[in-house]
Structure 1
Amino acid sequence: MPPAPRKTPVSRKPTFRKIYESDASGRPRRKTTPRKRSTKKKPWPVWLKISIAALLLVLLSPFYYGYVIKGSSSTWRWIRDIGEDPNYRTYSSFDIKIPRGYGIHGIDVSYYQGKIDWKQVKTMKEDDVKIDFAFIKATEGLFKVDPYFQRNWREAPKAGVICGAYHFFRPQKSGEWQAKFFLQTVKIEAGDLPPVVDIEELNDVTASKMRVQLAEFLNYIEKKTGVKPIIYTGLSFYKDYLQGHFDEYPLWIAHYHQPKLKVSKATNWHFWQHSDKARISGINHVVDFNAFNGDSLAFDNMLIKRTNF
């Protein structure tokens, strides 16, 4: 038998990676990559664990977020109010400026505001401002009944809003007949605000004729209810045609977007309609906003205690 061929020895590959570099003489030298040493993690100190747990407990607490939100809100309010008159600042919820110094606020509505969610109206609040009362349009002239009056007159008190009804006066019509029409439409009860007559226009009659018809309306309402009605009017109309003629009647004056109502201290005003652009929860249109001139005791004294009919 011929001799078995010799096996060529196979060179084994090194078990580690070789990196060759040249030394100063030009000969290659071998460099091995050092093996990584395993490092054992040290446990966290107890004090650090306790500190992290306490921090997480604080951050996850609802009281913490309430404090942060309240602080952030106050800071933002302070920044936003820079440069504003502190007695006439903006209330973002209502989207208007509201004069300070008044603790009782309200609105007046008619068919223009559409269907109102009175529960939302009552629950709306920003700081110390909320809706305490509402004047609701009932009638106009001799024949017009506000289409939303009965609903508003029924639903607003259910939500806890104190109400008063008003009549839009037409001086070219009989004042007495307008008063009769108003009382036929409105059922006035104890706890309501006094009835209101809204006089804003002369309607092509003289000022003296307007005052005669207005006096008829006021006298008839007071005779039948035992309550002095409130006169609503604009500041200019009051100064031009009413001042000095009906001073014994409580006044509700419209004077918009001003920090103060510009009337003399002797003026017998009880309500001030200071804005016609308020945004109120539960109402889809802008609303007139009012302030009462007095404290809660004075407001309670204005409410009807009993009626004569």
Structure 2
Amino acid sequence: MTVKGVDVSSYQSSSFSTKDLDFAIVKATEGTSYLNPRMHAQASHARDAGLVVGFYHFLRPGSVKDQAKYFVEKAAERAGDPLFADWEDADVSCAAKDDFLAEVQRLRGADHRVGLYCNRDFWLNRDTTSEAGDALWIADYVTAGKPRIKAAWKFHQYTDSPLDTNVGRFADAAALRSWAEGGGGKSLGALADEGFQVSGAED
């Protein structure tokens, strides 16, 4: 079983359809100066529909500590909202990605799950540590729930039409909410210790 959700940014309406959705992940920030002007409205819209709400920060080159601080100060988050690094810029190294995750976990990890979004190419060819915090959110436009990686993913973005649409690896919406509200904790390294395959190798 899986749950379904979308991710939205300023390119999407503040009143996007929430029909048959369990979660929405909203772009909050980018670098140290950009703030999604629709973030508050989009998050409120999703909350009003009963969805689990998360936020993401688009990583740019530069101080990851400054970016993490900007993200957690500006995101319209509440305790229990998952927070994600969006790693798509080829000029941001794997080490910088890891440092950003660690800093967000330091700042907010007690009350939030902290995870990583990236596409399959970045995961297989740019990542060298398999570090994704509490959750790997992988983009691979194939059948929903069947991303072509062996890692212990939590969310799968499988299409961008008509919106970026995702499934989550949870039995139902209640399980997703319980996980989200559990606070931070297990990195992929910890999951590996429990027997999960977490390498970036292709199936």
What residue is the counterpart of 2:149 in the other structure? 263
Given candidates 4, 14, 17, the residue that maps to 1:115 is 14
Question: What is the distance in 2 between the residues matched to 1:107 and 1:270?
Answer: 14
Q: Deviations over 1:151-184 (max 9, x none)?
A: 11222201212110110111x2111100000011
Given candidates 127, 143, 153, the residue that maps to 1:242 is 127
SS in 1 for 2:40: helix
- Any stretches of 5+ residues in structure 1 without a counterpart? 1-101, 125-129, 278-285
What residue is the counterpart of 2:195 in the other structure? none
Alignment coverage as a number of residue pairs: 180
Given candidates 65, 68, 72, the residue that maps to 1:179 is 68
Given candidates 178, 186, 192, the residue that maps to 1:301 is 178
Question: What is the distance in 2 between the residues matched to 1:239 and 1:293?
Answer: 20
1:142 aligns with 2:27: no
Q: Contact between 1:138 and 1:145, CA under 8 Å: does it hold in 2? A: yes
Give 1 or 2 for the bigger CA radius of gyration: 1
User: Aligned ranges for residues 195-206 of structure 1 at < 5 Å?
Assistant: 195-203=83-91
What residue is the counterpart of 2:57 in the other structure? 167
Question: What is the distance in 2 between the residues matched to 1:151 and 1:219?
Answer: 29
Aligned Cα RMSD in Å?
Answer: 2.1
Q: Contact between 2:101 and 2:132, CA under 8 Å: does it hold in 1? A: no
TM-score after normalising by structure 1? 0.54
SS in 1 for 2:181: coil
Q: Which consecutive aligned stretches of 4+ in structure 1 deviate over 2 angstroms post-superposition?
A: 257-260, 304-307
SS in 2 for 1:294: coil
With a CA cutoff of 8 Å and minimum separation of 6, indicate the structure with the bigger relative contact order.
2
Identity over aligned residues, as a percent?
A: 29
1:152 aligns with 2:29: no
Q: Deviations over 1:79-105 (max 9, x none)?
A: xxxxxxxxxxxxxxxxxxxxxxx4310
TM-score after normalising by structure 2? 0.80
Question: What is the distance in 2 between the residues matched to 1:138 and 1:132?
Answer: 19
Q: Contact between 2:29 and 2:58, CA under 8 Å: does it hold in 1? A: yes
Given candidates 223, 244, 265, the residue that maps to 2:106 is 223
Distance 1:272 1:179, change over 3 A: same
User: Aligned ranges for residues 12-31 of structure 1 at < 5 Å?
Assistant: none
Question: What is the distance in 2 between the residues matched to 1:116 and 1:154?
Answer: 10
Q: Quote how far apart the aligned CAs of 1:243 are.
A: 4.9
Question: What is the distance in 2 between the residues matched to 1:146 and 1:237?
Answer: 24
Q: Deviations over 1:196-215 (max 9, x none)?
A: 11001223x6xxxx123222
- Any stretches of 5+ residues in structure 2 without a counterpart? 185-203
Q: Quote how far apart the aligned CAs of 1:298 are.
A: 4.0
What residue is the counterpart of 2:194 in the other structure? none
